[in-house]
Structure 1
Amino acid sequence: MRRHLTGAIALAAAATLALTACSGGGSSAEKTGTAGGTLTILTSATQIDLDPAKSQNLAITTLGLIERRLTTWDIEKGKDPKVVPDLATDTGTVSDDGKTWTYTLKDGLKFADGTPITSEDVKYGIERSFAPELSGGLGYHKSLLVGGEDYQGPYTDGDLDSIETPDDKTIVFHLNASYGDWPWIVSMPAFAPVPKDKDDPKTYGQDPVATGPYKVSSNKQGTALELVRNTNWDKSTDPVRTAGPDKIIFKESQDVSTSTQSLISDAGSAKTSFLATYLGAAELALVNKNPSAKERLATSDAGPISYLAMNTQRGALKDLKVRQAIEYAVDPKAFIIAQGGSQAAIRATTLITPGIPGRQEYDLYPSGDDGDVAKAKQLLKEAGHADDLKLTLWAANDPSNQAQAQALEQGIERAGIDVTIKPLDVNTMYTDATGDDPDYDLILGGWQPDFPSANGNIQPLFDSSQVGGGGYNLARYSSPEVDKLIDQATAATDPAQAQSLWAQADKRIMQDAPVVPLTYAKQSFLAGSDVENFFIASFPAYPNYLTVTLKQ
């Protein structure tokens, strides 16, 4: 069965090359924290939509402060990520050979207005995520649930029969096929409960009915989002969220360079702030010059991937030898320098990223630190394109992505290929690139998996169902053999079996060379001196907002 899924951080990661992994500065995270104070989170985002149906938020970031789901992520410094119960009593009871999953809600759960949370509220929240007017959120569940492929949401189609609520505390999911990662899927934003009588699809994202430790007190898009305590949140039912600060303010539309300089100075409100946007090369250089700021930097281990996708359905790039030539022609060292040096990234050779269980290291195209130009020229000559190949490279028009594109251009042109960089607005670029007939030859992309399974590395980027139609298969790659491996790995409920199949798919894809793995990024985030429990674990490459506290 072919599935059409949507990548999570997909667009955000690909657009900004915001990638990931392990620990850095700040004190160790605890499950209890000192309460009080106002935490300010600085973000370059120009708006924050809080509608869970439209959100691509990670479980540990913004929406996780306001909305709970059936499960969530237990993210601790120095430990592997775990999926744990949130609203549910466990991570799911599986039956019917992996195709039926049952959850029971905990006792005493309430919305911020004091009304009880029921299984019907969870069902309705999921159903509304299918509505075309609420598109843009994570869509893994949409084609996994029986009938989901054709369902258009509750506003027009009523109930989705594959989600059953036999009583107020029980919810049952019926899937098209076995799916071992379902406990991770129900941790995604769409699985937050929504009371039907409070739902207005046009405005719900401004002030959703909270189930987490915070609720919205003010939301001025483009300027600031303010959260205050939800007094109907019960800590005894929520072992993951510490709810330290009394108030959390998201300051939007912040310039990364200006915010970095403010945090380096560490004066006034900067002491109780952190920057939610990862630092680029220029910002890292500034921090490294200031010993105090450097101590407040949290940097991940190597994790998510940046890559060069080759349009396998276009011109000379249909030829495997041409694609292999580009694998060798790229200058890895120059690209790493453009990303900010060894503090920002290490070289990548596989598609499954570090920190993901079951990853196997290999390198099918060993080319040294600088690339292997002679090998590239040999392959181009064998393909009949020794000196006549002209390719267009799409890259976002911000300085960071343009510097990286130029590093790629210079490396590839050493092999005799003429590369023209086309700078594009990031939103326009990915809208066009994920459409049905884009005219790029090469495109610079990046990927942060939506959950810590190789499923999140492989399926969204290389399943043939993800070509066009909004899918993130930017290489426009199609292989029946790989599709079969993906289906087998997805259906496996035994983790060891699934991991083995994903590793096979990884290497099989690279034999066809649809992309050049470039780097595994190391993201760095800066906090003020009064911010505590500010860290990055092995996955994902973002601070855990749910556990941040302030010095008192």
Structure 2
Amino acid sequence: MDRRGFLRMIGATAAMTGAGSLLAACNANERAGGGQQAVVAAGGTLYVLSDTTSLHLDPAKSQGLAITSLGLLFRRLTVWKTSPDGPATVVPDLATDIGRAGADGRTWTYTLKDGLAYADGTPIVAADIKYGIERSFAPAFSGGLGYHKALLAGAESYRGPFEGGDLASIETPDDKTIVFHLNRSYGDWPWLASMPAFAPVPRGKGTDATYDTQPVASGPYQVTKYAKGVEVRLGRNPHWDPKTDVARTGLAEEIVFQLGQDASVISQRLIADSGNDAYAFGSAFVAPAQLAQLQGNPAVKPRVVTSKSGALAYLALNTRRGPLANPRVRQAFQYAVDKQAYQIATAGSVDLAGPVATTLITEGIAGREVFDLYPAPPTGDVAKAKELLAAGGYPNGLDNLDFPVSTSNNMADKAQAIQAALARAGIRATLRPLDEDAWEAVVTGNDGSYDLTLGSWQPDFPSANANIQPLFGSSEIGNGGYNLSRYSVPEVDALISQAQGTLDQAAAGKLWAQADRRILQDSPVVPLIYTRNSFLHGSKVGDFTIGEFPAYPNYLQIGLAK
């Protein structure tokens, strides 16, 4: 599995600043003050205000979600349907269904719909999807989501179509059929088929870096202008057929990404709601300080849309370090932490941060079970923590725990809140501030010389697989992996493998829920909160919704008032 960047944002928000948060009286189901969003119609220009200086459009290099910016340009074999009232579902996009598995779950077959074409009118064929996936293996185009790279048979040393020729485990017996041969059974393959690398690329295109700014479009829009650091303009793809597309409305005539905007200025512009900004939304989170102000502004508050929950914030305990190798000692941390203090350090108030977390699988994921193995007040239970430390052989607490922390994204304040809470129970930790790159090198490297650290995780696709495997699979320890607790338990690895290989999604969900409980029994991490995200839009923007998963607006559905 791919390494995930620390607090990495998704899609067009990839390098954006801001804090996950919410308006207490406005959530995804109460958007726009109870339905006051604009009534949308076809036409108009939609503006996306971004504080990034570039927008990477090569699907082989993208880590974007299926519902954000690249989904406007590219279709894939499958796509997501999101809803504020239920989990995201995978549905057919270019394909006629979400995939047909062989009896052993190692073979997945797709048939393309009729009448599919690129923006220039060229038909989309199965070989284009094969070529697009093969491009994602080329070192020159690395950086995109790579779940498929570990699953396609014989791909271990494959280096893409320019050096390695054809990848035999992807077959295209005719123009409308594509067959994938995996090295093991994998029930979540339909989700992977929605990832950027599964977008079609005409064979022979995308041989150099210019494809990142001028790709061949298969979605409702194509690039008409790319001015780095200034703007990216998308115009209509005249050959996109809405009758074949269940996920995209393609309502706006044009979409303009305005790049390099200051995050605070974006909010100020959207609050003012004048001129073109009435037809705009911000792709960065609204900062907590601004949210507090907006709560008292009845003209603006209806235009803030907030997720129910998002990334899991957690405290990782290095299970290979000294006293932390003892599960009883690690369980003491579940009671020693003050989750309420963490909420306040995150967003200034409990309401603005997101709810207290007790599970590893996040909200909006099918099969998630709600439980709490370590019930305690939000401020913790210091007496219980001391009791468990004594039972683990440390009646006088713990000294000199090394606590590396990134200096970005307000993590120092959050770490200080955790440090102070632990000290109440006699757990004394020393903060080690590091810039983000240095922090990541320490906690994802092979050395493992640290005791505690803070992490945050947003799954890449709506399956508990993406919650559990990257953070707790033994294969994700070191080498850039995100198993920050260095947790390795054969029983859990076997559960992960069993769940991944289970084709029945309901049955797989039960296995993932079982893994969630089993892991937390060992207490390799302390779940802290499910971080919420809030976004602001102009008064002429409608159908601006955030589903149960992910905690981002669905770009593919947004429209404008006449």
1:350 CA drift (Å): 0.7
Out of 233-242 and 52-61, give the one that drifted further: 233-242
With over 3 angstroms needed to count, the CA separation of the structure-2 counterparts of 1:365 and 1:545, relative to structure 1, is: same
1:229 CA drift (Å): 1.5
Where does 1:38-53 land on structure 2 (aligned, <5 Å)? 38-53=45-60
Corresponding position of 1:346: 355
- Take 2:470 and 2:294, find their aligned partners in 1: how far apart are those partners? 35
8 Å CA contact 2:133–2:198 kept in 1: the answer is: yes
1:435-514 pair list within 5 angstroms: 435-514=445-524
In structure 2, the partner of 1:417 is 427
Specify the SS of the correspondent of 1:154. Answer: coil
- Of 383, 407, 431, the residue aligned with 1:374 is 383
Specify whether residues 518 and 186 from structure 1 end up closer, same or farther in structure 2 by C-alpha distance, changes over 3 A only: same
SS of the aligned residue for 1:436 comes to coil
What TM-score do you get using the length of structure 1 for normalisation? 0.93
Q: Give the distance between the partners of 1:297 and 1:246, measured in 2 at CA.
A: 24
CA contact (8 A) 2:357 2:528 kept: yes
**8 Å Cα contact 2:86/2:364 also seen in 1:** no
Amino acid at match of 2:493: D
In structure 2, distance between residues paired with 1:19 and 1:314: 34
CA contact (8 A) 1:344 1:524 kept: no
Alignment partners' CA distance in 2, 1:8 and 1:173: 28
Partner of 1:541: 551
Decide which moves more: 494-503 or 303-312.
303-312
* 2:244 is equivalent to residue 254 of structure 1: no
CA distance in structure 1 between the aligned counterparts of 2:191 and 2:273, rounded to whole angstroms: 38
CA separation of 1:498/1:130 partners in 2, compared to 1, >3 Å: closer, same or farther? same
**Aligned residues of 1:8 and 1:137 also touching (Cα < 8 A):** no
Paired residue total: 548
Q: Any unmatched runs of 5+ in structure 2?
A: none
- Aligned partners of 1:299 and 1:524 also within 8 Å: yes
Query: How many angstroms does 1:286 deviate by?
Result: 2.1
CA displacement 1:170-222 (0-9 Å, x = unmatched): 10011122211111110010100112222124232122111111111222333
More off after superposition, 268-277 vs 527-536: 268-277
Instruction: State the Cα distance separating 1:433 from its structure 2 match.
Output: 2.8
Secondary structure of the residue aligned to 1:412 is helix
Q: Which stretch has the larger CA shift, 226-235 or 291-300?
A: 226-235
Deviation at 1:51, TM superposition (A): 1.2
Tell me, in whole angstroms, the C-alpha distance in 1 between the residues paired with 2:560 and 2:466. Answer: 33
Within 2, Cα distance between the matches of 1:204 and 1:277? Answer: 25
Which residue of the other structure, out of 317, 327, 330, is the alignment partner of 2:337?
A: 330
Match of 1:279 in 2: 286
Give, in angstroms, the shift of residue 131 of structure 1: 1.8
Once the two structures are superposed, residues 68-98 of structure 1 have per-residue CA deviations (whole angstroms, 9 ceiling, x without a partner) of: 1001011234343221111111111222322
Which segment is superposed worse, 356-365 or 156-165? 356-365
**Aligned counterparts of 1:38 and 1:425: Cα–Cα separation in 2:** 40
Distance change in 2, residues 1:280/1:293 (3 Å): same
Please list, as runs of the form range in 1=range in 2, the aligned pairs for 1:72-471 lying within 5 A after superposition: 72-340=79-347, 341-381=350-390, 382-384=392-394, 386-398=396-408, 400-471=410-481
CA distance in 2, matches of 1:331, 1:63: 39
Q: Which moved more, 1:515-524 or 1:479-488?
A: 515-524
Deviation at 1:503, TM superposition (A): 1.1
| Structure 1: tracts of 5 or more residues without a match | none
8 Å CA contact 1:8–1:449 kept in 2: the answer is: no
**Contact residue 74 and residue 240 of structure 1 kept, 8 A:** yes
Q: Say whether the 8 Å CA contact 1:24–1:297 is kept in structure 2.
A: no
CA distance in 1, matches of 2:181, 2:36: 37
Residue 500 of structure 1 and its aligned partner are, at CA, apart by 1.3
Post-superposition Cα deviations, 1:419-475, rounded to whole Å, max 9, x if no partner, equal: 333344434433543222253322221112122211111111111111122222121
CA distance in 1: counterparts of 2:410 and 2:276, whole angstroms = 28
TM-score, L = length of structure 2: 0.91
Distance in 1 between residues matched to 2:190 and 2:6, nearest whole Å: 18
Change (3 A) 1:283 1:517: same
- Aligned-residue sequence identity (percent) comes to 53
* Alpha-carbon contact 1:75-1:544 (below 8 Å) kept: yes
Change (3 A) 1:79 1:502: closer
